[in-house]
Structure 1
Amino acid sequence: MMIEELSKIIKQRRTHYTSDFSDVPLSKKNIETIIENALWAPTHKLTQPWRFIVLEGEHKQEMGIFMANYYRKVFSIEDFSEKRFEETKGYAKNASMISIICKPNPRLPEWEEIAAVSCAVQNIWLSCTAMNIGGYWDTGTATIQYVENNLKLDDNEKCLGVFFLGNLKNNLSEANRKRKPVSKKLSWNKK
């Protein structure tokens, strides 16, 4: 692959929420390819502190209901919207969901292990972009609580969120994304 191709994929990566997903389910093969790429993220001492759990079946409906009830609980009566509550119940119906689990190695600083898992998530996202699959990493409290309440995690494991992904609807508008120029974010220091 040429650097131009890689740069294009990186710059095309964007957040696609579940409302952008079609009702055509992702194939198991596509999900396995995406996770295979995640496994190649950098990891100090090759600890590979990640585990990925695909949530299927009733999880789709239960995740939406859990998120809706959480929304009802945390928003004040003035800010609560019954319409949003009802929409949230069906939030995951067209999504595949991958739980992002970190199992830090106690021999290493925890931040390094979390950084490694974050790199794996970036590989997931870039793979989705290259395959024209939409997705985003949800690290919200409700999402993490759902996973912790419904999956058996080891005592030393942490859920770092859920990656929602799905086939994209046709004719989505292009994102008008910008980044600050490299000159604002890069400096050179010579001693």
Structure 2
Amino acid sequence: MIFDIIKNRRSIFPAQYNDKPISKETVQKILEAANWAPTHKKTEPWRFKVFMNGKQAELGRFLSEKYQEVDPKPKQVKIKKLQENPARSAAVIAICMQRDPNESIPEWEEVAATAMAVQNMWLCSAALGIGCYWSSPGLIKYMDEFLEFKEGEKCLGFFYMGHYDEEPPLVKRRPIGEKVEWLD
């Protein structure tokens, strides 16, 4: 049931992924779910660039090299993580947003619509037993040096995907009653 999938969805990080591949058809199915996210004025701002079949390693090299270029005191552990996380993933999806050229709605609404598309991807991945994680490092502002973007398009982060073996720990939430004010 959808409520169980929502409750059990977790961030599963690249370090937890095993070597089992994810088929292009499965990624396509997950992206199709993203395409059904709500969108004000039907701008459908979400855009995705999928890295598979070794292209993830190229992304990792770019991120690692760019970090060393822009950080005056790069840390070895971060250099390694930036390079290895994409390569450990069965797929990495660059999450992008295409701004409505008419600016018919506020930009935050297009960011929110893109985030809802990603939530659809996350829920479908969870239902299929695929681990995933949305990362938005500061380096995304340099992605136009690695990817071709259309006018008004920008990267909002990366959606790492992979199969995993160990079940993630349960997460506790404070009761919803602490976060709601009823105005009956």
- Secondary structure (helix, strand or coil) at the match of 1:136 reads strand
Q: Alpha carbons of 1:75 and 1:13: their partners in 2 closer, same or farther (altered >3 Å)? A: farther
- Taking the aligned partners of 2:143 and 2:9, their CA distance within structure 1 comes to 26
Q: 1:182 pairs with 155, 176, 182, which one?
A: 176
2:158 corresponds in structure 1 to 162
1:85 corresponds in structure 2 to 79
Check whether the contact 2:10–2:168 (CA below 8 A) recurs between aligned residues.
no
1:38 corresponds in structure 2 to 34
TM-score by structure 1 length? Answer: 0.85
Q: Alpha carbons of 1:62 and 1:145: their partners in 2 closer, same or farther (altered >3 Å)? A: farther
- Secondary structure (helix, strand or coil) at the match of 2:56 reads helix
TM-score by structure 2 length? Answer: 0.88
1:15 corresponds in structure 2 to 11
Q: What displacement does 1:84 show?
A: 5.2
Over aligned residues, Cα RMSD in angstroms? 2.0
Check whether the contact 2:54–2:87 (CA below 8 A) recurs between aligned residues.
no
Total equivalences in the alignment: 180
Residue 99 (1) aligns with residue 100 (2): no
Identity in percent: 35
Residue 137 (1) aligns with residue 134 (2): yes
Residue 119 (1) aligns with residue 122 (2): no
Residue 109 (1) aligns with residue 106 (2): yes
Q: What displacement does 1:53 show?
A: 1.1
Matched residue type, 2:95? I
Q: Alpha carbons of 1:84 and 1:153: their partners in 2 closer, same or farther (altered >3 Å)? A: closer
Matched residue type, 1:91? N
- Secondary structure (helix, strand or coil) at the match of 1:32 reads helix
Q: What displacement does 1:69 show?
A: 3.7
